[in-house]
Every structure is written in C-alpha cells, then in structure tokens.
C-alpha cells in the first residue's frame, strides 16, 4: 500500500482488545476464552494444521443502519488430523457455525480469544488429513468508523446532500474485522464474492461481476467471478453510488476508474496512466496481468495514500483525481507515481507475496523502486529520476538513529506489523534495490527479478529467495557479456556471494559511513556505522559489503570496488585533485572526505560545479551537513560549501540546500533567538536570490523546472522577499476580486494563498472556497496555506474541525496538526492539541500506524531544548503500553530532540561567528566597490548633495562603528546600512539582545533592508553621536517595509510524497 501524504495503515487497538501483547506473541499462562473455558491455542500466529483453499463470501452492508451481515463458507485443506480449527475474527458477532464434512453437516462449538483476534472452532470428531471439509460461519458487525476493515465513508454533494458508501482496507490485519478468515499473508486462497445491495448503489470487487440476481424485498445480489489464489489482505469490495470511465489495454485488460459522480470528470488522466502503466508492467515483467480487469477507485475517506487490492486498487481522492486546469506539476508527478506503485504491487506483493510481515520490504521496497523504473520509461517528461535521491535521504534520516531497525525485522503483533510500514521498508528498501541494480547492471537485475516473479508466482517468499534468483543470473545465457560488471556477486563462492552482500544491508540496521583519505596515489578507505548518538559503543560490530563507486578529477569513468572489510586501500593510476565516491549516490552510504578532501571538493564546487552531476552535488550537500551532526566536519566547512549554491540551478541540489539550511532556523524559531534566526534566514534568501529573481510566475517549463519554481517562489514569499510578496499579493487580490473565478498559474497558487491566509478576511475567503471546491489538489493547497497562517485562533479551529470531521475531513487531520506545529505561530498549539486529543487520535488512526508516527515526529522534531525534551518525555512517559508507550516513534522523537540539543550546543557559536564573518566580509567587499565608486562620484558630484555621497558617508560611519567595536572587543550590537537597496548587513550579540529585539519585531516595522525588515537602530545603538548620522538617516526612519509585520509564516517543505 502507499503511505501517501503521510502514512499508511492503521491498526486499531482498543485497550480492551489487548492488542499490545507481549512481543513474543505467546501468552504466558493458558489463554482463557470469553466464555471462561481454556482457549486451545496460545500463539498469535495461527497453527498450520489446516489452511483455507477457497472462500465463498456473501456480504450485505446496510448503508442506512451502517452495519453489515455476512456468510463465509471456507473450504479447508487439512494437513494433519485435528479437531480444532483456529482462525481470525475481530469484533464480529459470529453465529451458526457449521462443519460441512463428507459424513454430513454438524454444528461446531466456538471459543473466542479477543486479545489475539482468534476463534477456535471445536469439532466433536477428528478432521482427517486428506479429506474435504468446509466450515460455514454467519456473522454481523457495524461498519467501522475508522479507516480500516469494512468501513463507512461519506461525502457531500454540491447541493449539500450527504451520501454514504462502504469500502474496505484490509492490509495489514483488518480482513478479520470484515469476515472470519485465516488472516496471514501465507494463507492464500481463492475467493468467490457476492454482494447484496440496493438498486440505487453499485458494488465492485476484485473480480468482474458475473451476474446480478433479484432478491426478495427489492434488493439485488451481485455475483463476482472467483479470484486467483491470493492473501486475505488483498480482498476488496465497495458499495457506493460511484460512476466510472473505462478503456482497454493493449493486452486486453479492462481498466476502469471510479469516483463520486460530481468528480468523474477528473478521472481521464488516471485512466490513461493506468492503461499505459499496466501495459508497461505486462511487458517488463514478461508475465501477463492475470485478471481480466483492473479498477481504480477514489475513496472520499482514506487514511493512507492508496492500496493495491488485486484488481481493485483504492486511492485517496488526491491520489487519483486530476484536473488539467487546476492540478500542478507535482500533482501530476505524485499521482502517476501512486498509480505506478499500486500497479507494480499487482506483481510484487499480489502475485509474489512475502511469507510474513517481517519481510514487508519485498512488497514495498520493490513497489517504491518500480515507481521510478516504470515512470522513467513511460513518462520520461516527468523526469522522475530527479527525485529518487530524496527517498534515500529520507530513509537515512530515520536509519541514522539507534531506534532504527533492519529492513527485515521480526514482528509479531499487529502494532509491530503496522510499524513496518515506514521509511525503512519503503525507501531504504528501494534504495538498496537501486544499489544492487547499479552493481549488477540493469539488464542482469531485470532478468533476476523476472525469474524471481516467475518462480514464486502465487506463492510466498523470504529474502533468500530473491538473492537466489539474482545469483542465478551468473550462469545465465541471457546475460550479455558486456553486462558482467558483477564479478564479485558471481565469483567463486557463487551461491553465497549475492546473499552475503545483501544480507549486510537487510539484516542489520543503519548504514555505513565510508571515510576516504587521499594521499598521493593512495586512497585509504574505512567504514563505520553512521549513527547520531553520543554513545560510540552503539556503532561497534557493524560491517557492510559496500559496492563502492568513484570518479576522480582525472577521469569521468565510474570505477568500482567492493569494500568488504573495515579498512582497505586503493591505488589510483595518478595523483588527482579530487575524488568523488558514491557516484550519483546510487549506493546507500555516506562519504566523509578526510584530510584536505572536503576543501578540494569545495574548490571544485566553487569554480566548476558542473564537473559533478547534480545528483553528486546534492549528495555532497547532504553528506557534509549530516557529518556536521556527528562531529566529523565543522559547521563552517559545510557552510563554506553551501556558498556555491548561489550559482546552482538544478532541482535536487537546490532543494537539498534548502533541506539542510532551513531546518537550522526552524530550530531557532522554537527558541527565543530571533536575531540569529533572522540572520540565517537572510543568508538563505541571499543565497537563492538570483535564482528566485529568474523565476517566472507562470506554468511554463519542464516538470522539474515547474516544481522548482513552485518551491522557490513559495520560499521567497514565506520569507518575505519583497518581489515575491508583491507578486503573490497581487495575484491573491486579483483572484479574490474575481470571487475565485480567475485562473491563477497553478504552480504558484500556494504562494498566493499563503499571502491571503495572513489576514482574517483573506483566510475566511480561502476557507469558503475550500469548503465548496471539488478540486482536491486545489483544496489541498488551500489547506496548506491556511495551516501556515499566523492567525492562532484559525489554526486552533482548523485542528478542532479536522478532528470533528464534518467540515474538514478527519483523514486530513495529521497534515493539519503537523503543518500547524511547523508554523512558528502554531507550534505550541500543535503540541497542546496532540496531548489533549491523544486518546481520540490513537483510536481513530491506531497505534503503530504511520499516521500516528508522522504526527508524533512532525509535532516534536523541531524542539532543541532540554526543557522541551523534559516536557515531551513527561507526556509520552505517562502513557501505558495500551496507549502507545512502546511505539518506536516515541524513541525516535527523543533521539531527534537530543540530537537537536547537541547540534545547537556545539554549533550555535560557530554559526553565529560564520554569519558574522560573512557579513563582515561582504561589507569589506562593498567598501572596496564603494570606495572606487566614491572617488569617481566625489569628483563628479560631491559639490551637491547626492545619495551616492550619503551612501559613502554611511559606509564610513559603519566602518567607524566596526573600528570602534573591534577596539573594545565587542561587535556592534546591531547595525544597519540605512538606505534601501543596500545589501543586508547586520551583526548582533544575539544571545543578549535577542529577547528585546524579538519583542520589537512584533511592532510595525519602520525600516527595511533587503531580506530583513525591522526597526532602525538608534544612534546610541550604533555607538555614534547624533552628528555622525548621515543626512539620509531620518529620511529612512519611516516605514518602507513591503508589507505589514514579518508574518513569521513558515517555510513549507516540498510535499513529502507519499509512500505507501
């Protein structure tokens, strides 16, 4: 499944369900059933004495009373004689349980053990191995009020009518809440489904409808064809009033897209994409899609991003609906990726399924990886390769904490299973597959995975099955000689080598840091675990087999070397100026260039950055800032490297630059240090000013150019960069004047909405448009803008409404809470809200779900003080196991805050000094320029008063202030060049003065500098006498700020696209 905008699955655990059972999945004492009798099975995993072969399911949902009844008849394969059948059922009222044996029909005695969601069906005679048996169970339950199981969804039509539908979400452990079943992925069976409905509705399921039968009372019963053999978590059915559009693929598969009637005109893009992608996979995997149809349905209430049910994939409306007029470039990219992901699952996951959830990455890592492979070929114009790197950076973020886990991890209970749907399974899974593909060559890799899919079709697999299929290619005749770069993989100890390499990546958590030191022709290599901790003992005992790649200043050729030991040495043919390891960052590891290494890299970037690819540049930015956080590199070195970004134009290095620099001031925003915070913001604006200035406010260009533009202009607007604010304000006002009817350039609408949401009138107007809009992508941009408003009462109201679910959907609550928490005016509200509503939210979204994890991390991960750490620990420490105390995300957030504290303690003084030095340097550069200018101007104009002269005089004052400050060893407390248009220069002893200035920032500004807006310094503050002030000083002592007070709105990170 896809954890789209945020997360994925939901596991529900009400305390009474005993979900939080011991990790070993086994009760210590004899389990007692609900009727007080001993329950005959004491493990969470089902016994293997019987397995299901076929299910006949009849389901009758009532969309008026919001409940359902059903009958399940399950044909069994008895593997060993037994009189007990143990299977799953959760919160179902089970009645009338019969055994249909060769000797006749008889009732079975039923025991329930809710903590494990199990039923035991007891027979008074033995079921004999090899004979045919069936059990039949009748059951009833309410439609679920959450987002999983067989659940209720609703939507409001344009006329205000509320309509109800019922849909399913069974991954990972929720089929048991909809019908009694053997709810583990290895219990594959065929399903024949019948749905009872009213004539005003339609029903769809995994397979095509065979016929419809009239029932007494005016009801209809739809009979669906029997499925292929598959796991329970892939079963799906929907009863709704949806409409659909259809097309047929070249391979003869009927594709239909379903949506609520008023949005059916937004389905054309998804329909075409699904046709194209299913045809692609049919050819690429060389295995025909085995079903006659594939439906894609947009569900109005959906917790994760999408779900790969076989033949009936389900999506959030934002993941499937596309309006060419109103959707942005990144919407198009996101939607295509989601569809590519779910369709890839039809092979990886549905056809070949992991044996157990510990190897979820075999499903999700592959599906994530295939998004990029398929789009690269089917939609080259989307330039999806530009974004893959970001997945690996995201994975490394959680994988660099000691709370991380191996890709393949033992899990037993549903909460632990839910926790597997995280960045490690999806993104790290995809990144190590990418590394393997690069190592083996794309051709060899493709042959290997096709063999894997063919060999294990309709079966279940573990890691080693994949490695064996890939190792077998070593003997393949299919493989062209030129593709044999993988001699290590195939060499002598053939059978083991592929597995030996890959086990180091899947069975141990974390990833390696490779340190490279070049001495002449010698390159010394060493590896260690990259871990953000102050406990070095935690990095011991890790060793990876790392497929290294590198290039040098002397050669563009990619060289390869498999580093298997802790240290090793390479010899270059000649001395070089620089080396770059992990070419294009196709390997899942970081690199530290020891000795003069980083300085050489910085020189290349400064003088000729295009000597390295954009992926290489992005990875250098990422690696060096990450190395600062573990103390391997000084912050000033990383900042020196960042300077080259003023000449950067490619999306990955630019967004990575933002990705490393913006979090620095985000931490400061949650502390009282406005002066340094503003200095840092000013630096970033300065760095990208040229690139921002070159952006047009249109929708022209390639997808990457459009996504980059959208990002830059939003940043400029949020950071109050005057040209952006002016333009965004104009656009918003025009749009508002047209009552929202005017078409804004799609890619810059968020910037315009952001400006609008700063005032109560603008916010209310936006909300009204949000409420009535049918365009999901537009609504989503409005929601983001409203959540970044500085208006605290609005922020609070939004969170409350989202929780309530009437006006704003509860599925969007996590996004709203996290956005508010990143808003400098809202972060305290977000934290208060999370604490106050914790119990409601874990019930709705479920413990262990990526939704809960997303909120926990999103709300707290920008704290950097011991006080906040104590507060966070005090709240989470008060939880019990039933309310989430054991969740991994809590350990992650403690570690993250501790890491932030260490970072701030170590680096704040360095940051201050570097920014000071830089502004000082910029000042001297200006003085040289101004002196030259000044001499000329003096000669030409000095007899009359002119601005140039006054500038010179002001510069002279500034110089004097610096001279005096250096004399007394104290930097000027605050310092401005008092005329507009000059470069932003300001220094302050932040720690002492920040509180006062931060108060002053709240008052209407009277003074403006490029990139900075605040009160002017008095001459006392300048350390000058009134006579020293230039004549122009008072002239500028009036408001010139482009807009009212710095709204402190926050920077939006590029929408983290969904994982599934």
Instruction: Tell whether residue 1 is a contact of Zn ion (CB under 5 A).
Output: yes
> For the sheet containing 579-581, what is the strand order?
555-563, 546-552, 579-581
* Region binding Zn ion by CB under 5 A among candidate stretches 126-134, 356-364, 671-679, 748-756: 356-364
Q: Toward Zn ion, which CB reaches closer, 313 or 720?
A: 313
* Region binding Zn ion by CB under 5 A among candidate stretches 1-9, 184-192, 484-492, 586-594: 1-9
Instruction: Tell whether residue 314 is a contact of Zn ion (CB under 5 A).
Output: no
**Of 556, 608, 545, nearest in space to 583 by CA:** 556
Which residue reads 């930097």 in tokens? 971
CB of 850 to Zn ion, least distance (A): 12
3-state secondary structure of 893: helix
**For the stretch 468-498, what's the b/e string if a residue is b when 16 or more beta carbons lie within 10 angstroms of its beta carbon?**
bbbbbbbeeeebeeebbebebbbeeeeeebb
Q: Quick count: other Cβ atoms within 10 Å of Cβ 1001?
A: 17
* Region binding Zn ion by CB under 5 A among candidate stretches 46-54, 148-156, 187-195, 364-372: 364-372
Helix axes 749-756, 703-718, angle to 10 degrees: 20
> Residue 214 class from Cβ within 10 Å (0-12 exposed, 13-18 middle, 19+ buried)?
exposed
- Tell me, by CB under 5 A, how many residues bind Zn ion: 5
CB of 691 to Zn ion, least distance (A): 35
Which position among 204, 360, 367, 473 is part of the footprint of Zn ion (CB under 5 A)? Answer: 367
CB of 263 to Zn ion, least distance (A): 24
Instruction: Tell whether residue 234 is a contact of Zn ion (CB under 5 A).
Output: no
Residue 584 region, left (φ>0) first, then alpha (ψ -120 to 50), else beta?
Answer: left
Q: Toward Zn ion, which CB reaches closer, 316 or 580?
A: 316
Write each residue from 699 to 738 as x if it is in contact with Zn ion (CB under 5 A), else as -, in one continuous string.
----------------------------------------
Q: Toward Zn ion, which CB reaches closer, 426 or 732?
A: 426
**Of 1000, 1002, 994, nearest in space to 1018 by CA:** 1000
CB of 189 to Zn ion, least distance (A): 22
Helices (H), 609-673: 614-629, 635-642, 651-669
CA 250 and chain centroid, separation: 34
Q: Toward Zn ion, which CB reaches closer, 348 or 753?
A: 348
Q: Toward Zn ion, which CB reaches closer, 192 or 363?
A: 363
Write each residue from 2 to 41 as x if it is in contact with Zn ion (CB under 5 A), else as -, in one continuous string.
x---------------------------------------
CB of 1 to Zn ion, least distance (A): 5
Q: Toward Zn ion, which CB reaches closer, 367 or 961?
A: 367
CB of 391 to Zn ion, least distance (A): 13
**Of 916, 858, 879, nearest in space to 1056 by CA:** 858
Instruction: Compute the distance between CA of residue 662 and CA of residue 675 in angstroms, rounded to an integer.
Output: 15
**For the stretch 882-901, what's the b/e string if a residue is b when 16 or more beta carbons lie within 10 angstroms of its beta carbon?**
bbbebbbbbebbbbbbbbbb
What token pair was written down for 762?
A: 């603008």
Instruction: Decide: 236 and 312 in contact? Cβ < 8 Å.
Output: yes
Residue of this chain nearest to Zn ion (CB atom): 1060
Which helix (H) or strand (E) element contains residue 345? helix 329-345
Q: Toward Zn ion, which CB reaches closer, 339 or 890?
A: 339
Q: Toward Zn ion, which CB reaches closer, 367 or 724?
A: 367
Instruction: Compute the distance between CA of residue 100 and CA of residue 108 in angstroms, rounded to an integer.
Output: 10
**294 φ, ψ (degrees, to nearest 5):** -140, 115
Q: List CB contacts of 908: < 8 A, sequence separation 6 or more.
A: 676
Q: Toward Zn ion, which CB reaches closer, 346 or 802?
A: 346
Q: Toward Zn ion, which CB reaches closer, 499 or 1060?
A: 1060
Instruction: Compute the distance between CA of residue 77 and CA of residue 725 in angstroms, rounded to an integer.
Output: 69
Inter-CA distances, 226 with 223, 235, 292, 311, 646, Å: 9, 12, 12, 12, 61
Instruction: Compute the distance between CA of residue 769 and CA of residue 778 in angstroms, rounded to an integer.
Output: 9
171, 184, 342, 509: the active-site residue:
342
Binding residue per annotation — 341?
A: yes
Helices (H), 157-245: none
Instruction: Tell whether residue 1060 is a contact of Zn ion (CB under 5 A).
Output: yes
Measured in residues, the chain has a length of 1060
Which helix (H) or strand (E) element contains residue 555? strand 555-563
* Region binding Zn ion by CB under 5 A among candidate stretches 296-304, 357-365, 501-509, 680-688: 357-365
Q: Toward Zn ion, which CB reaches closer, 307 or 638?
A: 307
CB of 1059 to Zn ion, least distance (A): 8
Q: List CB contacts of 938: < 8 A, sequence separation 6 or more.
A: 949, 952
Q: List CB contacts of 559: < 8 A, sequence separation 6 or more.
A: 549, 550, 551
Q: List CB contacts of 460: < 8 A, sequence separation 6 or more.
A: 185, 186, 188, 352, 353, 354, 355
**Of 130, 125, 154, 149, nearest in space to 139 by CA:** 149
CB of 308 to Zn ion, least distance (A): 6
Dihedral of CA atoms 270, 274, 276, 279 in degrees, nearest 10, equals: -170
Instruction: Tell whether residue 849 is a contact of Zn ion (CB under 5 A).
Output: no
**Of 168, 284, 8, 1, nearest in space to 854 by CA:** 8
CB of 979 to Zn ion, least distance (A): 57
Instruction: Decide: 51 and 187 in contact? Cβ < 8 Å.
Output: yes
Residue 342 is a catalytic residue: yes
* Region binding Zn ion by CB under 5 A among candidate stretches 314-322, 365-373, 413-421, 909-917: 365-373
Q: Toward Zn ion, which CB reaches closer, 334 or 824?
A: 334
CB of 389 to Zn ion, least distance (A): 20
DSSP character for 425?
I
CB of 598 to Zn ion, least distance (A): 38
CB of 367 to Zn ion, least distance (A): 4
Which helix (H) or strand (E) element contains residue 571? strand 567-571
What Rg, from alpha-carbon coordinates, does the chain have? 31
Instruction: Compute the distance between CA of residue 337 and CA of residue 342 in angstroms, rounded to an integer.
Output: 9
Binding residue per annotation — 201?
A: no
Binding site for Zn(2+): residue ranges?
Answer: 341, 345, 364
Residues with catalytic function: 342
Binding site: residue ranges?
Answer: 341, 345, 364
Residue numbers at the binding site for Zn ion (CB under 5 A): 1-2, 364, 367, 1060
């Amino acid at each position: 499944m896809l954890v789209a905008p945020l997360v994925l699955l939901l596991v529900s655990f009400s305390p009474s369900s005993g979900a939080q059972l011991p990790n070993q999945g086994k009760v210590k004492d004899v389990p007692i059933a609900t009727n007080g009798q001993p329950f005959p099975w004491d493990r969470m995993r089902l016994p293997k004495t019987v397995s299901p072969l076929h299910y006949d399911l009849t389901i009758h949902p009532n969309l008026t009373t919001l409940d359902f009844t059903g009958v399940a008849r399950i044909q069994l394969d008895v593997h060993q004689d037994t009189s007990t059948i143990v299977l799953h059922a959760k919160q179902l009222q089970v009645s009338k349980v019969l055994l249909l044996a060769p000797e006749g029909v008889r009732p079975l005695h039923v025991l329930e053990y809710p903590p494990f969601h199990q039923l035991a069906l007891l027979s008074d005679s033995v079921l004999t191995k090899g004979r045919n048996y069936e059990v039949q169970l009748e059951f009833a339950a309410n439609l679920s009020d959450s987002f999983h199981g067989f659940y209720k969804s609703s939507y409001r039509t344009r006329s205000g009518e509320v309509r109800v539908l019922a849909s399913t979400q069974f991954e990972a452990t929720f089929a048991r809440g909809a019908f009694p079943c053997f709810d583990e992925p290895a219990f594959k069976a065929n399903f024949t489904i019948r749905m009872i409905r009213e004539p005003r509705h339609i029903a769809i399921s995994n397979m095509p409808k065979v016929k419809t039968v009239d029932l007494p009372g005016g009801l209809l019963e739809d009979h669906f064809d029997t499925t292929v053999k598959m796991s329970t978590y892939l079963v799906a059915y929907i009863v709704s009033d949806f409409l659909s559009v259809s097309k047929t693929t070249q391979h003869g598969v009927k594709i239909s897209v379903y949506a609520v009637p008023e949005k059916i005109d937004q389905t054309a893009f998804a329909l075409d994409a699904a046709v194209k992608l299913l045809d692609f996979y049919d050819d690429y995997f060389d295995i025909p899609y085995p079903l006659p149809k594939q439906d894609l349905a947009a569900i109005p209430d959906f917790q994760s991003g999408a779900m790969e049910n076989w033949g009936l994939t389900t999506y959030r409306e934002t993941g499937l609906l596309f309006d060419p007029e109103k959707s942005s470039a990144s919407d198009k990219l996101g939607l295509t990726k989601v569809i590519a992901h779910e369709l890839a699952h039809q092979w990886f996951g549905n056809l070949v399924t992991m044996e157990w959830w510990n190897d979820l990455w075999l499903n999700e890592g592959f599906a994530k990886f295939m998004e990029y492979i398929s789009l690269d070929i089917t939609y080259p114009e989307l330039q999806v390769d530009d974004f893959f790197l970001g997945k690996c950076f995201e994975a490394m973020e959680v994988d660099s904490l000691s709370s991380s886990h191996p890709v393949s991890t033992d899990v037993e209970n549903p909460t632990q299973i839910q926790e597997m749907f995280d960045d490690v399974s999806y993104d790290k899974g995809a990144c190590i597959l990418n590394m393997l593909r690069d190592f083996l060559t794309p051709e060899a890799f493709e042959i290997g995975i096709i063999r894997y899919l063919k060999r294990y079709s309709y079966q279940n697999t573990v890691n080693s099955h994949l490695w064996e299929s890939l190792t077998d290619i070593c003997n393949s005749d299919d493989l062209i000689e030129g593709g044999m770069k993988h001699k290590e993989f195939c060499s002598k100890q053939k059978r083991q080598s592929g597995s030996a390499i890959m086990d180091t990546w899947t069975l141990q958590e974390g990833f390696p840091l490779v340190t490279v030191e070049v001495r002449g022709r010698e390159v010394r290599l060493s590896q260690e675990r990259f871990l953000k901790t102050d406990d070095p003992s935690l990095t011991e005992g890790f060793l990876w087999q790392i497929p290294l790649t590198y290039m040098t200043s002397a050669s563009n050729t990619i060289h390869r070397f498999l580093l298997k030991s802790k240290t090793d040495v390479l010899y270059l043919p000649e001395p070089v100026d620089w080396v770059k390891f992990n070419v294009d960052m196709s390997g899942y590891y970081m690199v530290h260039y020891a000795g003069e290494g980083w300085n050489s890299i910085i020189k290349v970037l400064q003088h000729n950055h295009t000597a390295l690819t954009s992926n290489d540049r992005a990875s250098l930015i990422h690696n060096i800032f990450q190395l600062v956080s573990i103390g391997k590199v000084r912050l000033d070195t990383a900042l020196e490297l960042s300077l080259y970004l003023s000449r950067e134009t490619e999306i990955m290095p630019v967004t990575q630059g933002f990705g490393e620099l913006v979090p620095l001031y985000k931490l400061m925003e949650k502390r009282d240090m406005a002066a340094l915070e503003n200095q840092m913001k000013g630096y970033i604006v300065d760095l990208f000013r040229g690139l921002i200035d070159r952006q047009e406010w249109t929708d022209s260009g390639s997808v990457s150019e459009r996504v980059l533009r959208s990002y830059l202009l939003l940043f400029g607007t949020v950071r109050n960069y005057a040209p952006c604010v002016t333009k965004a304000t104009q656009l918003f006002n025009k749009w508002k004047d047209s009552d929202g009817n005017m078409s804004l350039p799609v890619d810059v609408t968020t910037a315009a909405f952001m400006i609008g949401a700063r005032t109560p009138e603008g916010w209310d107007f936006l909300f009204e448009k949000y409420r009535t809009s049918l365009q999901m992508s537009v609504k989503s941009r409005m929601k983001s803008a409203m959540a970044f408003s500085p208006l605290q009462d609005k922020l609070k109201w939004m969170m409350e409404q989202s929780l309530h679910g009437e006006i704003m959907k509860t599925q969007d609550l996590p996004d709203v809470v996290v956005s508010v928490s990143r808003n400098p005016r809202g972060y305290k509200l977000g934290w208060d809200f999370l604490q106050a509503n914790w119990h409601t939210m874990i019930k709705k979204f479920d413990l262990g779900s990526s939704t809960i994890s997303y909120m926990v991390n999103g709300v707290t991960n920008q704290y950097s003080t011991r006080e906040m750490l104590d507060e966070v620990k005090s709240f989470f420490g008060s939880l019990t196991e039933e309310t989430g105390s054991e969740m991994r995300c809590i350990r992650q957030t403690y570690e993250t805050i501790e890491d932030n504290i260490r970072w701030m303690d170590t680096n704040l003084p360095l940051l201050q000094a570097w920014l000071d030095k830089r502004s000082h340097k910029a000042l001297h550069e200006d003085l040289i320029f101004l002196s030259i200018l000044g001499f000329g101007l003096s000669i030409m104009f000095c007899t009359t008063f002119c601005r140039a002269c006054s500038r010179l005089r002001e510069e002279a004052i500034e110089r004097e202030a610096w001279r005096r400050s250096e004399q007394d060893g104290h930097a000027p407390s605050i310092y401005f060049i008092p005329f507009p248009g000059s470069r932003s220069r300001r220094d302050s002893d932040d720690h002492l003065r920040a509180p006062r200035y931060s108060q002053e920032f709240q008052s209407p500004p009277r003074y403006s500098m490029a990139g900075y807006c605040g009160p002017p310094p008095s001459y006392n503050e300048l350390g000058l006498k009134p006579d020293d002030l230039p004549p122009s000083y008072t002239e500028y002592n009036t408001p010139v700020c482009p807009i009212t007070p710095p709204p402190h709105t926050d920077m939006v990170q590029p929408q983290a696209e969904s994982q599934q």
